[in-house]
Copies of this chain bind each other. A is one copy, B any other.
Amino acid sequence: MIRRYRIGEPINTDSVVEQIKITTGEIPGWRKNQETRSLTFQLNDSDVVYGLGESIRGMNKRGWIYESNNSDDPIHTEDKHSLYASQNFLLVTSPERSVAVYIDTPGRVCFDIGYTAPSEMSITFDDFDADIYVIDGESRLDTVRQFRKLIGRSYIPPKWAFGYGQSRWSYMSVEEVRNVVNTYRSEEIPIDSVYLDIDYMDHYKDFTIDEDRFPDFADFTKEMKDDGVHLVPIIDAGVKIEDGYDVCEEGVEKDYFCKKENGKNLVAAVWPGKVYFPDFLNADVRKWFGNKYDFLLSKGIDGFWNDMNEPAIFYTEDHLSEVFEKIDTYKGRNLDIRSFFEFKDLVGAIDNNPEDYRRFYHDCNGQKVRHDKVHNIFGYNMTRAAGDAFRRLCPNKRILMFSRASYVGMHRYGGVWTGDNKSWWSHMLVSLKQQPALNMCGFMYSGSDIGGFTGDCTEDLMMRWLELAMFIPLYRNHSAEGTRRQELYCFGHQDWFRNIVQLRYALIPYIYGEFMKALLSDDMYMMPLSFVYADDKRAIEIEDQVLVGESVMVAPVYLQNSTGRSVYLPEDMKLVRFRSFDDYDEEVLVAGDHYIECALNETIVFVRKGHVMPLCAPAKCVNELDYSTIKYICFDAEPSEYELYNDDGLESITI
């Protein structure tokens, strides 16, 4: 049961697809305070609060403050409030209730979930204009399903996007990409995609290719695809300001870029140097920008990632000159410590400065709206531009698309990756905890950079991370310029890495099938244990085990130098300890606490009682998987009891 309430006059986000009549009057259970622009809800001791999609800390969000304020901040420590996404869905659960709230507003929202007062949840708005959807369900899953139905069916990626992807900022040339692919092939480590970060472009210009380093791009795309590898180029939000660059000149001519108060185009700087931002909130601009993807589609590209679309701003022209003027006032002075730190902070806060988000405007259906009022739907609308274009340009084909910034609604057009994480053991666990929350908010195709983006990865971290991410849809190893190389063949144990990635491929019948079943029925693919073991106090509290589809529980090892871990089984389960797809032990364990040994090269999977997990022979890429090789690992069940979903993985699916 969903009720919709309205506060003020919210800007339409197009995040929901079902029109629900607005209920007038108080929002039951919520205390509204007009003065503080806040809503407050009472929490019971036994309540667990889920949601908020891509965010830090636990699956249970109690005990911290979160902000929906899409942020390009690469240091995801536990004290941060925002990452790149705004997914304003919260689910308050206990054995007694499953109530959810969805806050539909494109501006900044602050969620104090038992931080200030342990038994209160307070939501505070920059602008007190929002549609509030209150959802009451019979169970956690029922409530989520109602929400997912409200916001519409999630984006479906091609099946090859479940294979292993190799990324690096950046592979600099055709030769380098070829070398990566050849090494994976010769090491017999399966691979389905290589990502092209910003350097494939000509001076970081969207919809261009550096012809020197990537000549004959269509041929190269084909060469790779013939070897089972899809190239996935990045697209950034900012359009380089350059005479003669068609995207820039067209955008200027058509008046498609974001403007300052004075009507001039905002000049910001990102990777290409100075850029304009397309006004993605305008439908005409979306159509124009979306059509640009055809430059790459027509060269055989069938996958993209949209980046820097919070939007990230290294500086704006106006702010930078203000800073330089201000610096002059410090020079030559006998700086006391307060002035010194003011000076340092002045420079330190140039990039992604909140003031810059108040310097420019959008044209939303003829209405001039300051950016900060709609900040959180900017990246969503960039990806929507692409998604709509794909439906026009190649209506029968699935195109891989995922984005860094997001908002609910974008889940219909693409997936997400969780941005610039670190090669931290702690970030490995965070990446697992984010998955159920993303699923709740409609983001089914998602994942984090395996091995960590910035920082230096060790062999054991990479191995454990690949094991932990075994069932996570987006299975991509990505790392930043200047960090230790982390392609899997750069470490010592190629044989172990081969076994792990082959196991991933062997499990794709299960992974893809369960993903699609969940997606098509607005269900969860990865979920907290409480979604099934609803009354089990122990299960409800667990933060490092997750259910995957109908048959599997995962409980990965995520600590360095550990060769095992404690696992809680809410019911009898069958432990499968894989050393490779065809070398594994099975052991039935009774419900309760167990210490499970798990060597560095082992992946442990738990099969639920009465359930079945299919497994096929691996292949070098997803489309070569041979489903006739499928066998079944069963626990008190027969293979025939399992419904194996499959399709060609390429064609679009219409409702």
Contacts and interface: CB of A to CB of B under 8 A. Distances in A.
A343 to B, nearest CB: 8
Contacts of A314: 337, 340-341
A541 interface: yes
A468 B217 CA distance: 59
A520 interface: no
A348 interface: yes
B58 A560 contact: yes
A538 B596 CA distance: 11
A497 B13 CA distance: 46
B594 A79 contact: no
Contacts of A340: 269, 314-315
A226 B485 CA distance: 62
A273 B339 CA distance: 10
Contacts of A48: 561
A138 interface: no
A455 B58 contact: no
Contact of A344 (B57, B350, B593): B350
B459 A118 contact: yes
Given A79-B424, A273-B336, A541 B561 contact: yes
A562 interface: yes
A335 interface: yes
Contact of A327 (B60, B272, B327, B541): B327
Contacts of A559: 58, 543
Contacts of A458: 63-64, 115, 118
Interface string A96-125: 000000000000000000010110000000
A21 interface: no
A269 B327 contact: no
A541 B566 CA distance: 13
Contacts of A272: 337
Interface of A: 48, 57-58, 60, 62-64, 75, 77-79, 115, 117-118, 269-274, 314-315, 320, 324, 327, 330-332, 334-337, 340-341, 343-344, 347-348, 350-351, 422-426, 455-456, 458-461, 492, 538, 541, 543, 559-564, 566, 568, 593-595
16 contacts: A48-B561, A60-B560, A64-B560, A77-B77, A118-B458, A118-B459, A118-B460, A270-B337, A314-B340, A344-B348, A347-B347, A426-B426, A541-B561, A543-B559, A593-B593, A593-B594
Given A64-B560, A324-B330, 9 more contacts: A63-B561, A118-B458, A118-B459, A269-B335, A273-B337, A538-B595, A541-B563, A543-B561, A566-B566
